[in-house]
Structure 1
Amino acid sequence: MKIAVFFVGALHDTGFNANALVGADAARDLPGAEVEIVSGTPFEPEAMTEALDAAAARSDAVIFIGGQGNKVTPVVAARYPDRAFAVVQGEVTGPNIASYDVLQEHSAFLAGCLAAETTKTGVVGHLSGHRVTPGLKGRAAYAAGIAHVDPSVQLVTGFCGTQDDSAVTEHWATAIAGQGADILFTMLNAARAGATRACRAAGIRQIGNVGDWTAVDPETYIGSAVARIDLGVLQAATDLTSGTRPLVVRHLGLSDHAVRLCMAPDVQPGIAAKLSDVAAEVSSGKLIVPTEYRGPEFTPTEQH
């Protein structure tokens, strides 16, 4: 089976796409799988549709990486009823479409708990790029985690419109720090570097996502909301090659070891123990993580 794994934006982005690529490479070892990597498509509906159509025309199946695929994939899948499609971080299903969702909102909720437990100013931040469903869910979960620990903590949150432009994220992160935030949760890809520069310059801590950034820079990163997107990609490829077509969205969460919160060594043991208990409640379903946010949003006065 020829499987095209379809990426939007930079492939080696030290974030979401890079992690998904690990899963795509692992899929090459599946019996009968021939994997093609399709990357570099810009985050524009017409460009994504055109590139996805071309990938489907020369493949037996396509795995779309990212929530952007929720709108684009059904359009193309309808043109190719004899092909199989999967969306990782998706929420769409159909006769020839399956979706796989790594519940990064669960680790984002724990990130919110960590931010509320460790802030000294009582103000924390959040910065993401594109307004896709996984990012919106992650922001909502982070806000809920903050409120779960301390509703009095203020959240300064915004979507800057890019996952990969570090000049933009540096500007936004600096502006969020200027609002008094001493911890910033970033859901970014290549543009994380700009936010990290801003955090270092402002002397504030950051919480990363997807990978374990506390292992890379524990002085800057107080935590990281890990989300193993690669496991979602590998599960999608496994199902495609075996002929399995899930009729509902397949979720991978804490109990699947697909998400977790990593913390820097300087996080107090008492806080780590408390958050471990919260994680157990989320994993068991006793604590339901909200995925909608209706609070205020922040935009820098001067756009970069």
Structure 2
Amino acid sequence: MSARIEVVLFGPEGRGSFNEAGNAGAGRARDAGHGVTVTWIADPAPEARAIALLALCERGADLIVAHGGQGDYPVSIAAQRFARQRFVVTQGSVRAQNVATYDALQEQSAFLAGVLAAHVSQTGVVGHMSGEKVPPGLKGRAAFLDGVRSAETGVRALTTFCGSQHDPRRAFDTFAAQQRAGADVIFAMIDGGRDGAIAACRELGIRQIGNVLDWTVRAPDVFLASAIADSGRCVERAIADFRRDAVPFGGAVTFGLAERDVVRLALARDVGHAARAQVEAWGSKLIDGTVRPGLQYEGEEFPVAA
């Protein structure tokens, strides 16, 4: 009998590259013969997400895969109330005996994005923006800023969280504010709000570094690079592991730059040889462990656009 597996995506249905990756991973698992159902939870409030997940637990499933750090809080609540229910959180940090995390190390590609931004900026100012302050976003931000610092080019970095992964207007306004402050390259870790960030780049004449998927293919006029961390591969792998009784509940599975189909920095064609060489050199150090991205940032934050 096929296992009943629920994949939970947080955000407006059908929007955002992060959820696109998760949905694609669920689709590949379904195509491989696994019994996978996808459920979308659109409400952005953590409490509402927890209530929706608890309702899903009441209906019963052999495995619930919560996609993204937004799943940390609802799974932490549900895992206590449903001790026999088994969960996976992708890009998560929750720890419990009935929960496993599967993590594409976004911080490694984000670090390389910082190195690249520092080497290509013409203004001496680069930016970072994201939406919600969930652990993967905080780690990615810290790693990007660590990459900027490590490049030792003297470039200054701005950083902010606009409060929503899915709001194009907030993304546009935040990009515009950072551009007015001098940023000519901005690393954006957002989802449904990506269209606003792209529109800002085209209107203001600045370049963007994307994440999760390869944005240099989708909008080559805008994207200088993309810090790929294909979390959909985590969904796919977790489901395959579950079917062979290999999920390390209470533990974690990680994928880094050594798995290039999961984690890498994709570069646009117009990135010069010198900058490419820097990315290659730092990437080798990350793979062999001689460099590890910083995962905490306690410095100043750029004011959020009104």
Length-normalised TM-score, structure 2: 0.95
1:275 Cα shift? 0.9
CA drift at 1:138: 0.5
Corresponding residue number in structure 1 for 2:83: 81
Instruction: State the partner residue of 1:147.
Output: 149
Deviation, 1:282, is 0.3
Aligned partner of 2:106 in structure 1 is: 104
Q: Which residue of 2 aligns with 1:251?
A: 254
Contact 1:91 1:101 (C-alpha < 8 Å) held by counterparts: no
1:34 paired with 2:38, answer: no
Which 4+ runs in 1 deviate beyond 3 A? none
Name the CA distance, whole Å, in 1 between partners of 2:208 and 2:70: 26
Q: Which moved more, 1:200-209 or 1:40-49?
A: 40-49
Give the letter for the 1:197 counterpart: A
Partner of 1:265: 269
TM-score by length of 1: 0.95
Per-residue CA distance 1:44-91 (angstroms, 9 max, x = gap) = 122111111122222121000111222221221222222211100112
Contact 2:115 2:278 in 1 (8 A): no
Question: 5 Å matches for 1:63-78?
Answer: 63-78=65-80
Unaligned stretches of 5+ residues in structure 2: none
Structure 1 stretch 68-77 or stretch 208-217: which is displaced more? 68-77
Amino acid at match of 1:196: I
Aligned AA (1:99): T
CA distance in 2, matches of 1:47, 1:244: 31
Residue deviations 1:118-158 (CA, integer Å, cap 9, x gap): 00110001110000000000000000000011262111110
Question: Which secondary structure state, in structure 2, belongs to the residue aligned with residue 169 of structure 1?
Answer: helix
Answer whether contact 1:91 1:100 (CA < 8 A) is retained: no
Is 1:170–1:197's contact at 8 Å kept on the other side of the alignment?
A: yes
Structure 1, 168-177 or 3-12: larger mean CA deviation? 3-12
Give the SS at the match of 2:270: coil
Separation (CA, whole Å) in 1 of partners of 2:97 and 2:41 = 28
Q: CA deviation at 1:203?
A: 0.8
Matched length: 301
Structure 2: how far apart are the matches of 1:186 and 1:199? 11
Instruction: Flag structure 1 segments of 5+ consecutive residues without an equivalent.
Output: none
Instruction: Tell me how far apart the structure 2 counterparts of residues 186 and 36 of structure 1 sit (CA, whole Å).
Output: 30
Aligned to 1:205: 207
The answer to whether the 8 Å contact 1:10/1:17 transfers is no
1:187 touches 1:208 (CA, 8 Å); kept in 2? yes
Contact 2:22 2:231 in 1 (8 A): yes
Which segment drifts farther, 239-248 or 62-71? Answer: 239-248
Q: Distance in 1 between matches of 2:16 and 2:242?
A: 27
1:169-206 C-alpha deviation (Å, 9 max, x unpaired):
11111011000000011001121110111111111111
**What is the aligned-residue identity percentage?**
39
State the shift of 1:241 in Å. 1.8
